[in-house]
Structure 1
């Protein structure tokens, strides 16, 4: 889930540098046709992707959906936790119709994505997911792409834009700049802020690991409800995504992600240099649009807290109408519009 604003402010104070100039802030309303009204049910609950493809990419055999012309402009869409590729089931047709080659991989530990070796650590640290994304692009011979995401996907997208800008044409990131570090995460927050991270502390215990393994679907559904309190998704919408959490590595990757953040689990030494760079909170120079829902129930920073991390052409859009944490699924038109607009920036 996105980093709390207090934590991010400390991050960037520690990474202070020259003053950066940010672009305008835009508020997009339901009246403008960009979002769904408050209380919107998930449209297209019967919709899905065609046959899921698979490609060997680094540590993984990545399962992914693809839409649009094979020779279209690549667009990499990255989902979050605990969600899956169906967050983009209504975004993909819009982008495909606009001529994009839309690529939507299941993250490690989700859906049909599998580790290629039993010996590979079931690692959920931020650097591992970013390297996965680069390996996926390499496997498909994609040299440069637009990249967009939310939650874990937004963090990964931000890392790609910051550390591999030659591979990233432009960026759309829900909840803004989400790059973190273990050192910054070790700093305590006020009690009300810590309360929002209840599941992170639960996952730090063996009781939490066993509880998530035993009650995965119940747990995921609760997170969906808390993170998007006005999203009236139905049983069919949840059932479409639920098989993604039956991945044999889902629990291990999820638990490691949150334990690693708190310094309770080791990362892999091969990612140390990447994490060192990320701990300096590098700026992002590629054209960027950040998005935020007006009813995001998950911890997230205020746009003003991260605007200066984007040093290229930049705009922020607040999507109104009761839009929560899973923004591309709750407001697909607004999300797709941001991708098209940032491409033309």
Structure 2
């Protein structure tokens, strides 16, 4: 058995720490001065806290207390078996529990992809624990008028990856059959991800990632932007955790939608930043249009040339945008 986690992981990340939170043994990584303004970095799918390896040292060096968890079911944080244990109440509750464990009243929450969905729910569900919110690629989206899974199925068909993920066990097995191939398929330049989204047969993009993965060959792929070493770390992490925990987040779309009835749909009383990526095919800048109607203290910035994996594709630009905003609102 090779050493786990890989050497590159331990070299590029702070030492892993653990906290018993909401019945989960949560792994998290911390850097920066203990008295610095805290910022919590929340990853998406299929990622882990390792996705923030290029932000953690930059923010810490600027005087911020940086906290990046492997969220439940990801990386070194094991997750429960029950699908319902991955609903929004649990995901936001984990972040509250992490603050409690660290003795922090509030923090800025920064989320990418699925992590962005979670951090935009924090001020709706736990406003007293939020100093500010940063959405990276992921905009604030008000509550859908209908069950989102039924909407996605009607609009994009059964092969849309979010709809496909609803079937217990199926996507888990497909993604886990060759983890390195899966990671190379997902972690590609924007043109490749956009092409994967253009394969819909029922009117419009379906993002049929299952079909795309079956056709994909990583050999000589010109759209790879991560080093073999970094891909090796992601591969080892998902070989360790599997994909079921992360996919279970998607299996709670309908449950979260039902539970959100009656929640406020406006973020108020705190500064917020929306960082958009010009070439993101999954979360396009157009999706952030009109956010001002729902977020009262909002700034928006665009990172040109970047696709979906923005903090890894354009780390210096992401760090600059975050630090500029943090220094104005939360000086270290």
| Aligned CA distance change for structure 1 residues 231 and 101 (closer, same or farther; 3 Å) | farther
In the TM superposition, what are the counterparts of 1:153-302 in structure 2 within 5 Å? 153-174=115-136, 175-178=138-141, 183-188=146-151, 194=156, 198-205=160-167, 206-225=169-188, 229=192, 232-248=225-241, 250-261=242-253, 263=254, 275-278=260-263, 281-300=265-284, 301-302=286-287
Contact 1:66 1:101 in 2 (8 A): yes
Contact 1:70 1:101 in 2 (8 A): yes
Task: Report SS of the residue matched to 2:12.
Answer: coil
| Aligned CA distance change for structure 1 residues 195 and 334 (closer, same or farther; 3 Å) | farther
- In structure 1, the residue matched to 2:90 is 128
Q: Kindly report structure 1 stretches of 4+ aligned residues shifted beyond 6 Å.
A: none
Q: Could you list the runs of 5+ residues in structure 2 that have no partner in the other structure?
A: 1-7, 193-222
Residue 337 of structure 1 pairs with residue 320 of structure 2 = yes
Taking the aligned partners of 2:92 and 2:108, their CA distance within structure 1 comes to: 15
- In structure 1, the residue matched to 2:206 is none
Taking the aligned partners of 1:182 and 1:82, their CA distance within structure 2 comes to: 28
| Matched positions, count | 288
CA RMSD of aligned residues (A): 3.1
Q: Could you list the runs of 5+ residues in structure 1 that have no partner in the other structure?
A: 1-43
Contact 1:110 1:247 in 2 (8 A): no
| Aligned CA distance change for structure 1 residues 195 and 154 (closer, same or farther; 3 Å) | same
Residue 311 of structure 1 pairs with residue 276 of structure 2 = no
Taking the aligned partners of 2:153 and 2:251, their CA distance within structure 1 comes to: 20
TM normalised by structure 1 equals 0.73
Q: Shift in Å at residue 334 of structure 1?
A: 2.5
Taking the aligned partners of 1:53 and 1:178, their CA distance within structure 2 comes to: 33
| Aligned CA distance change for structure 1 residues 196 and 232 (closer, same or farther; 3 Å) | farther
TM normalised by structure 2 equals 0.75
Specify which structure has the bigger relative contact order, considering alpha-carbon pairs within 8 angstroms and separated by 6 or more residues. Answer: 1
Taking the aligned partners of 1:317 and 1:119, their CA distance within structure 2 comes to: 39
Deviating more after overlay: 95-104 vs 165-174: 165-174
- In structure 2, the residue matched to 1:72 is 36
Residue 96 of structure 1 pairs with residue 60 of structure 2 = yes
